[in-house]
Amino acid sequence: METERFGRTGLDVTRIGFGSWAVGGSGWFGGWGSQEDEDSIGAIHRALENGVNWIDTAAVYGLGHSEEVVAQALKGVSERPYVFTKCELVWDEEGNVGNSLKADSVKKECEDSLRRLNVEAIDLYQIHWPNPDEDIEEGWQAMADLKSEGKVRHIGVSNFDVGQLKRAEAVAPVETLQPPYSMLNWGVEEETLPYCAENDIGVINYSPMFSGLLTGKMDKERAQNLPEDDWRSRHAEFQEPRLSRNLELVEILEKIGAAHGSSPGEVAIAWTLRHPAVTAAIVGGRRPDQVDGVVGAADLHLDDLELARIESFLKEKP
């Protein structure tokens, strides 16, 4: 699979990385319904077989469970992929999730992630959300300290806007950003992506298929019957009136994909990869066959006519 230089980290990463949110399983507010670890491990192995060289996870996914599943999958793997994780979302004994960017909390979270992931150092450590806003500087200084101590190799942020990126930059260089970016969420095109391109900040965009909505496998019936413990059952884009409009977009992606032998999801991912500021896309998968259905996006190049067809839909039906 093609690789790209990941901004200031200097790492060469494949244009698709494996996203491990859903493999965290259910039992917390961000769960995706039931998930078998065996399927998750199979999906991670399939991604590696396809040449994917990095995995994104977070401490909060499944309240530590996603990191444990990643560690299990990587046991005995001859060439370990890069492992990226995140801090800032913390939880108590009852599983209530809160935010902290206090230095002692960030440092404790890092120790917990190192233990769960069973790695000597985290390849990229990211602040998950800029919350609380007033503690951004303190949290980012703690991240820079962890890098100096060698516990993490590179540091980045997620969900930061340009103002917040600049505040972090005043403390220590920001190597990477992880923003949401898809056809259903493209606000970062205006200011954030151009700022990252100008400042050599590597960008890995998340939810390029809008968490499954743009795959072609999420029809009206499935979206309206998602189990209660799947967070998507509470999301407006998976409900009317937005759902019908979003499925109309999927029909266009299906037609474009058919000409390339690609799935609608691959078209959705390739659309994000066309942006010059985007280094690579983080794509979630829950089973090995799902991974097979998305990796082709790394080599899919949409032509001007295809891009114009998508742009005109997005403009006509914002």
Ligand X SMILES: NC(=O)c1ccc[n+]([C@@H]2O[C@H](COP(=O)([O-])OP(=O)(O)OC[C@H]3O[C@@H](n4cnc5c(N)ncnc54)[C@H](OP(=O)(O)O)[C@@H]3O)[C@@H](O)[C@H]2O)c1
Contact flag: residue 35 with ligand X (CB under 6 A): no
Q: Is 136 one of the binding residues for ligand X (CB under 6 A)? A: no
The token duo for 247 is: 């499925």
* 3 state SS of 157: strand
Q: Is 89 in the site for ligand X (CB under 6 A)?
A: no
**Binds ligand X by CB under 6 A, chosen from 7, 19, 42, 288:** 19
Q: How far is the CB of 180 from ligand X (least distance, A)?
A: 6
Distance, in Å, from the CA atom of 127 to the CA atom of 116, rounded to the nearest integer, reads: 18
Shortest Å, Cβ 143 to ligand X = 15
Q: Is 298 helix (H, G, I), strand (E, B) or coil?
A: helix
Taking the chain, what is the end-to-end CA distance rounded to the nearest angstrom? Answer: 34
164 binds ligand X (CB under 6 A): no
Residue 181 contacts residue 205 (beta carbons within 8 Å): yes
Q: Is 61 a catalytic residue?
A: yes
Question: Which candidate in 61, 82, 181, 206 is catalytic?
Answer: 61
Of 217 and 242, CB closest to ligand X: 217
Query: Could you tell me the CA-to-CA distances from 150 to 108, 110, 147 in Å, in that order?
Result: 15, 12, 5
- With b meaning 16 or more CB within 10 Å and e meaning fewer, what string describes 182-202? bbbebebeeebbebbeebebb
Of 58 and 78, the one with the shorter C-beta distance to ligand X is 58
* Min CB(173)–ligand X separation in Å: 20
Smallest gap, in angstroms, from Cβ of residue 163 to ligand X? 18
Does residue number 50 form part of the binding site for ligand X (CB under 6 A)?
Answer: no
Q: Which of 91, 17, 94 is nearest to 61 (CA)?
A: 91
Segments in the chain forming alpha helices (H)? 37-49, 65-74, 103-117, 136-148, 162-169, 192-198, 220-224, 242-258, 264-273, 288-292, 304-316
- Selected range binding ligand X among 6-14, 96-104, 167-175, 204-212, rule: CB under 6 A: 204-212
**Cβ distance to ligand X smaller for residue 209 or 300:** 209
CB of 113 to ligand X, least distance (A): 14
Q: Is the CB of 105 or the CB of 159 nearer to ligand X?
A: 159
| 29 vs 149 by CB, closer to ligand X | 29
- Interacting residues with ligand X (CB under 6 A): 19-22, 32, 56, 128, 158-159, 178, 206-212, 215, 217-218, 265, 282-286, 290, 293-294
Query: Which amino acids are annotated catalytic?
Result: 61
